[in-house]
């Protein structure tokens, strides 16, 4: 069942990532963390489909926001980040997925850990929390290459003064801002100890990012006492250790 959405806004998050806002008249309510399949069709009928996480909170306006990172050799993402224009129509299937989701009834502490564009479904959870006026305590640990690779920068920055039960920590892997206390590097045990909920609070953890990032972050979470059944993951991209 393919739905048709009309592009109503475009916004560049970074030099390589774009948020596409779609108006989808027959959209059912989604749950934060779910994704959609997007289908592009060439004039001869050839089509290509890829999955993208939904960035927006569930809403009654039947709007769906997707944030797409352009992959260097991608087939669909270059089109979505460079060619698509307002008023274009896109075919969507979804919402899809019932595991990597945060439901507004959840009240336990939530630990979000994002690597790069893995922030997208986690942002939907943060937005869903706000729109549902949930008081569930959230922490986000967001690992990025460099400051200019941060998605949703202003919105994340604006969270703190409003709501001290959402905290955001950044980890920079290649270039940190001037005077940043931690040298650039991957997430390690010390950062997990500083920036995530103590495991004794039994947080539900959502980890999304490239495969190697998710593997190391989940190992650190379980090593620091989080039960594997409280850690939900979404991985993307190649494994890195094989061609």
Partner 1 sequence: MGITSRGFPGRRSAADAKLPPGQYLTTDFPVLSAGPTPHVSLDQWEFTINEGTDVLRRWDWKSFRDLPTETFATDLHCVTRWSKLGTSWEGVSLDTMFADVKTDAPYALVHSYGDYTTNLPMDDLMNKQAWIGFRFDDEDLEPEHGGPARLLVPHLYLWKSAKWVRGITLMHEDEPGFWESLGYHNYGDPWREQRYSGDE
Residues binding partner 1 (CB under 8 A) = 1-2, 4, 37, 39-43, 45-51, 75, 79, 83, 88-91, 96-100, 211, 215, 218-219, 221-222, 228-229, 231-233, 235-239, 241-243
Tokens of 48: 């290509």
To the nearest whole angstrom, how small is the minimum distance from the Cβ of residue 169 to partner 1? Answer: 21
From the CB of 7, what's the least distance to partner 1, in Å?
Answer: 11
CB of 47 to partner 1, least distance (A): 6
Nearer to partner 1, 147 or 237 (CB): 237
CB atoms within 10 A of CB 235: 17
| 3-state SS class at 37 | strand
**Among residues 181 and 228, whose Cβ is nearest to partner 1?**
228
Euclidean distance between CA atoms 232 and 114, whole angstroms: 12
Residues near 108 by Cβ (< 8 Å), separated by ≥ 6? 136, 202, 203, 204
Return the number of the residue (141 or 176) whose C-beta is nearest partner 1: 141
Cα–Cα distance, 120 to 187 (Å, whole number): 19
**Bridge-partner residues for 63, per DSSP?**
23
Cβ proximity of 80 and 19 under 8 Å:
no
* Interaxial angle between packed helices 119-131 and 153-162, expressed in degrees from 0 to 180 and rounded to the nearest 10: 40
Nearer CB in complex with partner 1: 78/147 = 78
Q: In the bound complex, what is the minimum distance in angstroms from residue 31's beta carbon to partner 1?
A: 11
Q: How far is the CB of 86 from partner 1 (least distance, A)?
A: 12
Taking the least distance from each CB to partner 1, the nearer of 156 and 226 is: 226
Cβ distance 36 to 5 under 8 Å? no
């Amino acid at each position: 069942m393919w739905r048709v959405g009309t592009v109503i806004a475009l916004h560049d998050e970074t030099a390589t990532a774009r948020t596409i806002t779609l108006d989808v008249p027959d959209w059912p309510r989604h749950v934060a963390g779910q994704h959609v399949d997007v289908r592009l069709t060439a004039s001869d009928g050839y089509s290509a489909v890829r999955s993208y996480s939904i960035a927006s909170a569930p809403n009654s306006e039947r709007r769906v926001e997707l944030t797409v990172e352009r992959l260097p050799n991608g087939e669909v993402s270059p089109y979505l980040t460079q060619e698509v224009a307002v008023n274009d129509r896109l075919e969507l299937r979804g919402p899809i997925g019932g595991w990597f989701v945060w439901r507004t009834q959840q009240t336990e502490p939530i630990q979000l850990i994002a690597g790069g564009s893995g922030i997208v479904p986690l942002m939907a959870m943060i937005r869903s929390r706000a729109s549902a006026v949930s008081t569930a305590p959230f922490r986000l640990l967001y690992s990025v290459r460099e400051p200019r690779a941060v998605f949703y920068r202003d919105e994340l920055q604006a969270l703190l003064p409003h709501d001290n039960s959402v905290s955001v920590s950044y980890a920079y892997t290649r270039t940190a801002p001037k005077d940043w206390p931690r040298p650039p590097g991957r997430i390690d045990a010390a950062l997990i100890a500083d920036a995530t909920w103590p495991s004794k609070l039994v947080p539900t953890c959502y980890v999304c990012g490239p495969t190697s990032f998710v593997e190391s972050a989940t190992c650190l979470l379980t090593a620091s006492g989080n039960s594997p059944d409280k850690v939900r993951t979404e991985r993307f991209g190649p494994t890195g250790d094989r061609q």
